[in-house]
Structures are given as C-alpha cells and as structure tokens.
Structure 1
Amino acid sequence: MALLLNNALQLFLLALCASITLTVYATPQGRIVGGETVDIASAPHLVSIRYKRNASTPFSHRCSGTIYSEDVVLTTARCVIGLERQQLLIVAGSSYRSQSDGYVYLVKSIAIHPDFDIWFIDNDLALLRLEFSLTSQNVKVINPIKLAETLPAAGSAATVAGWGAAAEYAEYEEQLHEAKVSIVDTAQCKEAYGAGRISAAMLCAGGASVNGVAVDACLGDAGSALVSNGTAVGLVSWGNGCGRVGYPGVYTNLVHFNEWISSEAIVPLIAMQCKSFAIKLWLLLTCCLAATASLGIQPAIIGGHEVNIIKHPYLVSIRYRLPADGAYWHKCAGVIITEKAVLTAAQCVREIETDRVMIVAAGNQRTGGDGKVYPATKWIEHPQFSTRTADYDIGLIFVDLPFELNASHPALRSINIREQWPAVNRLATAVGWGYREEFGPSSDNLEETKVPIVSRAECVSIYGSGEVTARMICAGYVKTGGQDVCQGDTGGPLLYEGQLVGLVSWGYGCARPGYPSVYTDVASLKTWIVEELQKAQS
C-alpha cells in the first residue's frame, strides 16, 4: 500500500512539475525573439541537445548546451531532469536545429546540481560529461567558452544565441539566431518578478523593445550561454513568456556556480579529462551525420620516447568495434597477466556490448596491423567500481585463444604484480600510445616515460581525501609537470623494476604542474584478481 501511495505521489509531482515548466516557457525548448540569423561560427560554444523519447522515436532538438571543456557541456537542470543519458545526443558544430551537418557525441553521465529546485527553477544547472572528447580540429565551430569570474555591471552588452521561434507561440526556426541584450539590474528584475522569486543563483537580461516586443531568449534556448565580454555569464533558464516588455529573461548565474562547475568537471565520473582518453575516431552516429570527427579514448605519453613492443611484451591494445562501420579502434591499453587474461581499467570495459572487443598483442602501433589479434569472449569490472570517484578502477578481459606465452615470439609475455609500492620519488615507467601533449596530437607508435612516485599524503592534499582512496597510487612531476600519461593510455601499466604497480586511471589534464596522474593500485586488488581468474578456470 505504501508503495502504491509513493508511486502515485511521484506521478502527481511529475505532473505538477511538468505543468510548472509549461507555465514558464511551455517546454524546456527555447528560441531567440528579436534576433538575427547567424552561423555557428558566431557561437562555437553552442550545441544542440537532442532527445529521444523511446526506441521508436527519432532524436529531436530539446534545448541547448554550452561547451565548458573538451568533454563537458553545461545546460539547465530542467532540460535533462528525469532523463537517461541514452535518451540524449549532443550535436556540435552545426548552425541548424535538425540537419545532419554537425558532429554527434554520446552522453556518458548527467550531473544535476544538488540544490536544484524545480518549483522555483532555482540552481537550474546540469553538467553533461561526453562519452568521447569533442574534436579539436575545427575550433571555428566547436570551441569551449570561458566562464566569467565576476558579473558584468547592469547595462553591459551581452549576446545570446539559440534555435527556435522568432515570436511567442510561433514555430521554431531551423537556423541559429543570435540576439543582443543588456544585463538587467537585479533590483529591476525583482521588481518585475517579485523579490522572493529572483535568487543569487539567477541574473536577468533583456533587449530593447521594438513594436511592443522585447529582444529575448525563449523556448528551446534553455542552456544557451549569455555571453558578455567574451565569457559566459549565464544560461537561459526561464521567464514570463517570450519577449514581453517589462519581463526580462532570467538566466542561471554561472559566476555563482563557478566553484561547483570546476569541481564537478574534474571529478573522474569515469576518469578525468586526459586519463579517460578521448578516443579519436571518425564520427558516425545513428543520426546519419555525414561529417567525420575525432571520437575517442586514445592514449598519450607526454615527454616520452618511442620504444619497441619487445621492451614491454605484456602490453596490449584494447580495440572496440564501432557499430556503424564495423571497424576496430584503439580504446585503452591493458597488460597480459595469464595466457587467457588481460588486466585493464574498469572504465575500459564498462557497458560494452558483446562481440565488440578484440585484443591486439605484440604490436608497436596503435592502429596498425603489425600485431597478433585475439578476440575477447568476456570482460568484467570490479563490482565496487565507482564511476564518480574511479575507485576500484580495475577489470579483466578474457580472450578466446590463449596467448602464445611459451612460444619463441619475443613480444608476447605476461607480467607479475608487484606486492609493495616503490618508495616515494623512485622513478616508475609508464608506457602507451597517444597524445604527446594535452589535446593532441597523438602518436601512433608506442612510447614510454619515467615518472616519480608521489606520496599518498601529497596526492590527497592535491585532489582531496574523498578522491584519492586506498586503491590508488599517484605518480608524476608535481612541481614541474612535463612528463605524464594522457588520453588513450587508460588501463596501461605503471611499472617498477619490471613488475606491475598500477594501471592508468585518472588525473587533471596531462602533464600539468601540480597534478600527478592517479593509477589503480593493482596490489591492493590482487585478491579480487586471483578470485576471478580461478572462477574463469573452473
């Protein structure tokens, strides 16, 4: 009975929330009133967030988003609340609301501000982390925007762009529009909406009235950035109708949320920026987008040098088959630990469909065919793996045919796990394929670099005690940076004296001073590894 009442209450609340949303802007979708048609190059930070109600319906524009970093898009909470990530697509680099001339990206995770109040649309902010990093090869149409550190003064000029109707109740426009508005004094905004309705998490902006219609954002523009002096100061949130004189648009105050955004953006939801290795792959998506783009989780060694696979014969490339063209692309690295098992990061095998993975061993190149191919039959992640903190970031992949470890092939060997940490400041070796600097370019050839072990205390002081757990080990040049792992090295080994110490997991950026890389401490999880290997043999 209690369960039935609870379900009924939830349905009532959802219906009520929906009605409240409708009274604000009719839907989360928005438009620009009183603006002019522009190309996406005028607002390269803008993306279209597209929504699919169910398996039988197509994706269509729901609201807008603002690019914060290579793999993070900001939008409003009410744009995505109640939705699963699988229902969303991000389309970047397009001037159009429904055409297929942009780059498509999947959503990995949705983080809604914990204080979001759906009744008053307060703290209306959400952060979308992308499955793969945005392409960096077309910055004219796809480019992050910096957040303002302070609010501009009342009367300051600003712009807002989006897709939608050119007038209240009209049909949506297909091409992007941009409008010029001015920051509205908070007191004036409170006078329009009521003092208790405008919080510190909001700011207001509007344009001059022309023929009784004010310049404004409207339905479908939710999540679009309010830009002043080249920085984002707000996101389109709500208002009384569209373009109504006396009622400015209300925006989420991004300056108010700077700290939350920056902290949420570096939290390793599956892994942070460079450590989650943004696979560069030529974009192809179910929306029939013809354009190609970099989509990826590719690895990177910064400040390293090329080596032959014979020096690291246990290293393998984990490749993932794309459904669109059937091609396999490097996703992560891993290490051979038995004749039929590869150890890697949990994030590398999470939510991957059957028959999509193969292992390439004894190969020097990330994309070449110089190695030996082993189809994967099964993969598992640690049951306690956390997508938020990347704790227990470890997984196993089992292959169909055994690795020929006892054969004469010099580039096929297994590796042993080191039982103890190396001493602090001892140089360990990281090896992988990928970027030679943050955001690319990547290297197709195997590289290695040396990095010193960082004490747990120092690592905790940098990232926080809640982020660095007992199952993690840190390494890197904290003071100087310059040498590190990066995109595409996820799951690859941290080595000391020829033994396995860690697996590349996460970190902030690549080779940045002050931020060491964080690795999974393999020895701390050896019991789980042994148990799973025994299960596989039985």
Structure 2
Amino acid sequence: MASRLIPILLLCSVIGTAFGKTRIVGGQETSIERYPSIVQVDFYSIWTATWSQSCAGNIINSIFVLCAAHCFEGTLALAIYRRIRAGSTDRNTGGVVHDVDSVLNHPAYGIAARYDADINLVRLRTPLVYTPVVQRVTIISHNSGIPDNSAVTHAGWGTTSSGGQASPILRDVVIYVINNQLCADRYAQLFPNSVYRVTRNMICAGLLDIGGRDACQGDSGGPLYYGTLLVGIVSWGHGCANATFPGVSTSVSAYTNWIVSNAN
C-alpha cells in the first residue's frame, strides 16, 4: 500500500516504491475557478533547495487548511519545510503563497491502522484573502454517511499514469463510492493481519472491477467531493486506479467535530 504522496524526499522515496506512483488518473484538465478551495501543499527539499508541490489541501477558513496527516510526518515535515499555494490552476506557479505556522495532526493518526485518522489542520502564518479563486470549502456534517455508488469527485495535480509525472494543470475525475465492508474485505485479502486496513473512518471510491480512474501520488491531502461538500481527504491505496483495490480517502464526517473545535 502507498500514500498518495509524491516521493520527492529520500524518506518519501521508500514510500513511493512500496506504493504505486501516479496522480489523478482517467480524468481531465480543469481550472481553479471550479475548485477554488483546493490548494497546493509545497515541500522544501533540503538537497536541492527548491520548493515543489507534493500534496494538496482544502481551505477551511482564512487561517486553516485541511490536509492529510501523512503529508506532515517524519523528520523533514516541520512547518518550515511546508507552504501552501492558493488560487492557481497551474502546478508550482501563480496564485498566492503562504507560509505554514503550525500543524496539528489528529491524535488518533496511525493508531487503529496505518492510515486511520489520516487528517490534520495546517495553520497559516498569514490569512488568506478570499477571491473568486480562493474560497473556503463546506465540510460534511459530523457522522453523516454517503450512500454506496454515489458519484464523487477527486481534484489535484497528481500523476496521470502509473510511473508518470505530476500534472502541470489541475485535473478532476468522477468515481463512485464503494461499500466500506466490501472494500475492507478486499484489502484484508491483499494484506491479511496487516496495519494496512480499511476502517470505518475511511471512504473507498473508484470503478470497482473496472479501474482506470483514481487519485494518486501528489494528490494526498486533496479533496473528495460529494456535490459541493468535502467528504474525503485523499489518503492511500494499492497503486492507483486498480480495478480490485479502490483508492481510500479519510472520511471527513468522522472528524467534523474535531475540525470545527480546532480550526479557530
């Protein structure tokens, strides 16, 4: 299994080898005007002294961005090595850049399973200014469910094919919610008695037994939308766009109360 994180750092390279390498697969180019609440999360490489988008995030309010905890773990995941870029369709250019002040990973992250509670709040050093291309997202209410087979949408700058390069343009793709227990059973067959488990705090989505559409590396932390609601945070999966093993996102509704309590 692998997170949907672009392996630009040495430690992350190990993760990228264990999991698949791709980003929005089977989708199409779109624009920030359609998804003004998505932001790029840039990583700083101490080896090349450069910044590059490697995760995505979601604007909760002018100070906080909602992301995936695994985008902010490890010895090189300090706030000084992360920043966000808002308001741009293009990867690594345009929009407005904000430094990160602090990061709060969910306290249950990684306890029940490797990617359980894979969610965090990123506090910005300076507030965002809302514009037509910089807007807050609406999050789903606490413990609300999404019906199986519902159409949902990923957006991001991740790779477009296995082993490919990150997309220079924001992309989106429509997939469908897969029954949680069915998804858990599939992954249990792949990884019996493993920490890589699907829990009730996750949403699986894809084209079951067909494949071809998914989020992937570089899309971690980004959105899964049900209509205009943010219902998921891109987390992990077996490769990308796999027909048998769907992509897995953190279920936002499991953590809505925690988000509201801490994003102030």
Instruction: Tell me if structure 2 keeps the 8 A contact 1:106–1:131.
Output: no
Would you say 1:130 and 2:34 are equivalent positions? no
Shift in CA distance, 348/452, structure 1 to aligned 2, threshold 3 Å = same
Aligned to 1:123: none
List per-residue Cα deviations over 1:170-197 (Å, max 9, x = no partner): xxxxxxxxxxxxxxxxxxxxxxxxxxxx
2 CA distance for matches of 1:516 and 1:355?
Answer: 34
Instruction: Tell me if structure 2 keeps the 8 A contact 1:349–1:380.
Output: no
> Structure 2 stretches of 5 or more lacking a match?
none
2 CA distance for matches of 1:435 and 1:325?
Answer: 21
List per-residue Cα deviations over 1:310-354 (Å, max 9, x = no partner): 100000000011123331111200000011000000001113124
Aligned residues: 249
Give the deviation of 1:105 after TM superposition: 7.0
Aligned to 1:398: 123
2:233 to 503, 509, 521: 503
Q: Which amino acid aligns with 2:117?
A: Y
Instruction: Tell me if structure 1 keeps the 8 A contact 2:2–2:239.
Output: no
Instruction: Work out which structure has the larger RCO, using CA pairs closer than 8 Å and 6 or more positions apart in sequence.
Output: 2
Would you say 1:318 and 2:41 are equivalent positions? yes
Would you say 1:378 and 2:262 are equivalent positions? no
Instruction: Tell me if structure 1 keeps the 8 A contact 2:26–2:213.
Output: yes
Please, what is the CA RMSD of the aligned residues?
Answer: 2.3
1:410 to 127, 132, 136: 132
Shift in CA distance, 132/516, structure 1 to aligned 2, threshold 3 Å = closer
Aligned to 1:437: 161
2:212 to 458, 475, 482: 482
Give the deviation of 1:132 after TM superposition: 4.6
Give the deviation of 1:498 after TM superposition: 0.4
Would you say 1:106 and 2:10 are equivalent positions? yes
Q: Which amino acid aligns with 1:317?
A: Q
1 CA distance for matches of 2:91 and 2:206?
Answer: 24
Give the deviation of 1:70 after TM superposition: 10
List per-residue Cα deviations over 1:113-136 (Å, max 9, x = no partner): xxxxxxxxxxxxxxxx81554xxx
Instruction: Tell me if structure 2 keeps the 8 A contact 1:105–1:130.
Output: no
What SS does the corresponding residue of 2:116 show, helix, strand or coil? coil
Aligned to 2:246: 516
1:425 to 144, 149, 159: 149
Q: Which amino acid aligns with 2:32?
A: I
Q: Which amino acid aligns with 1:335?
A: N
Give the deviation of 1:521 after TM superposition: 0.3
Task: Please list, as runs of the form range in 1=range in 2, the aligned pairs for 1:8-23 lying within 5 A after superposition.
Answer: none
2 CA distance for matches of 1:430 and 1:497?
Answer: 11
Q: Which amino acid aligns with 1:373?
A: V
Aligned to 1:342: 65
Give the deviation of 1:515 after TM superposition: 1.1
Percent of aligned positions that are identical:
32
What SS does the corresponding residue of 1:397 show, helix, strand or coil? strand
User: Structure 1 residue runs of 4+, over 6 Å off?
Assistant: none
List per-residue Cα deviations over 1:438-492 (Å, max 9, x = no partner): 1113321100000001011211121129711121011011110011111110011
Higher Cα Rg: structure 1 or 2? 1
2 CA distance for matches of 1:468 and 1:354?
Answer: 29
1 CA distance for matches of 2:208 and 2:161?
Answer: 17
2 CA distance for matches of 1:440 and 1:516?
Answer: 19
Query: When the two structures are superposed, what TM-score results if normalisation uses the length of structure 2?
Result: 0.87
Would you say 1:471 and 2:201 are equivalent positions? yes
Between 465-474 and 422-431, report the one with greater CA deviation: 465-474
Task: Please list, as runs of the form range in 1=range in 2, the aligned pairs for 1:93-492 lying within 5 A after superposition.
Answer: 106-107=10-11, 130-133=14-17, 273-274=19-20, 300-351=23-74, 352-367=77-92, 369-386=93-110, 389-405=114-130, 409-419=131-141, 420-464=144-188, 467-492=197-222
List per-residue Cα deviations over 1:212-246 (Å, max 9, x = no partner): xxxxxxxxxxxxxxxxxxxxxxxxxxxxxxxxxxx
2 CA distance for matches of 1:530 and 1:502?
Answer: 16
List per-residue Cα deviations over 1:6-61 (Å, max 9, x = no partner): xxxxxxxxxxxxxxxxxxxxxxxxxxxxxxxxxxxxxxxxxxxxxxxxxxxxxxxx
Shift in CA distance, 389/498, structure 1 to aligned 2, threshold 3 Å = same
Query: When the two structures are superposed, what TM-score results if normalisation uses the length of structure 1?
Result: 0.44
Shift in CA distance, 354/308, structure 1 to aligned 2, threshold 3 Å = closer
What SS does the corresponding residue of 1:463 show, helix, strand or coil? helix
